[in-house]
């Protein structure tokens, strides 16, 4: 075996150069750190593309549903929207129009936490979706109502890191309070629709 330090020819099974004492063992190069960095960058880029695509689709859907409504029924909506009083003429106009699911509230965020929201009475549909930070913990997004209704998504330690969705529908004659609970998320969204 040839010494890389002094070029002295040693025996094949020698561990040290008999001329200069240099170690003759070949140390494998450690590329694990660079591989981990590359994989992490790829995962981050893919996650950002998915998140941007998801929100672009959600915005397009919201814009198209608002644009398809007649001008007389278009109203600005916010997460804290509540039942709005309508005049008798508006009620008679709307009763002759076909009913459809209308978005009445959107909540979104990231990270971990919880918040409570009030949802008005009527025929309600709630859609939830979330993307986890990692799959090492019990990442989740749960929506639980005071009426016992619930929907949610979660990931276990062996789950794929991917966007998951769920929904629920119910009818109530009174407003309900729902708790949104989220843990270790890159992004989450809760959309509330009322059939009207």
Tens digit of each residue's pLDDT (9 = 90 or more) over 121-146: 999 999 999 999 876 678 899 999 99
Please report, for the chain, the start and end positions of each structural domain, with discontinuous segments joined by +. 1-30, 100-195
Mean pLDDT score of the chain, rounded to an integer? 82
How sure is the predictor about 10, in pLDDT bands with cuts at 50, 70 and 90? confident
Q: Contact 194/122 with Cβ under 8 angstroms?
A: yes
Element (H, E) at 66: helix 32-67
Distance CA 57, CA 31 (A): 39
Calculate the dihedral angle through the C-alpha atoms of 95, 99, 102, 104, rounding to the nearest 10 degrees: 40
DSSP state of 87: -
How sure is the predictor about 77, in pLDDT bands with cuts at 50, 70 and 90? very low
Q: Does position 87 have pLDDT exceeding 60, yes or no? A: no
Contacts of 11 (CB under 8 A, 6+ apart): 1, 18
Q: Does position 173 have pLDDT exceeding 80, yes or no? A: yes
Distance CA 177, CA 191 (A): 15
Task: Give me the numbers of helices (H) and strands (E) for the chain, helices first please.
Answer: 2, 6
Q: Contact 110/190 with Cβ under 8 angstroms?
A: no
**What was the pLDDT predicted at 88?**
53
Distance CA 186, CA 134 (A): 9
Mean pLDDT calculated for residue range 57-74: 59
- Predicted TM-score (pTM) of this structure: 0.51
CATH fold for domain 100-195: Jelly Rolls (2.60.120)
pLDDT: is 73 or 158 the higher one?
158
pLDDT: is 23 or 187 the higher one?
187
Distance CA 61, CA 179 (A): 25
């Amino acid at each position: 075996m040839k010494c890389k330090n002094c070029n002295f020819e040693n025996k094949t099974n020698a561990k040290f150069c008999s001329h200069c004492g240099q170690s003759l063992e070949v140390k494998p190069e450690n590329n694990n750190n660079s591989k981990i960095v590359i994989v992490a960058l790829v995962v981050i880029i893919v996650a950002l593309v998915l998140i941007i695509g998801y929100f672009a689709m959600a915005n397009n859907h919201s814009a198209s549903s608002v644009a398809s409504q007649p001008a007389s029924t278009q109203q600005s909506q916010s997460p804290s929207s509540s039942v709005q009083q309508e005049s008798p003429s508006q009620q008679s106009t709307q009763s002759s129009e076909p009913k459809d699911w209308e978005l009445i509230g959107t909540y979104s965020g990231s990270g971990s936490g919880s918040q409570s929201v009030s949802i008005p009475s009527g025929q309600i549909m709630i859609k939830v979706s979330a993307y986890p930070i990692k799959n090492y913990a019990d990442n989740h997004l749960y929506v639980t109502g005071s009426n016992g209704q619930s929907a949610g998504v979660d990931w276990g330690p062996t789950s794929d890191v991917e966007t998951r969705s769920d929904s629920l529908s119910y009818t109530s004659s009174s407003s309900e309070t729902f708790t949104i609970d989220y843990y270790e998320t890159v992004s989450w969204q809760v959309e509330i629709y009322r059939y009207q």
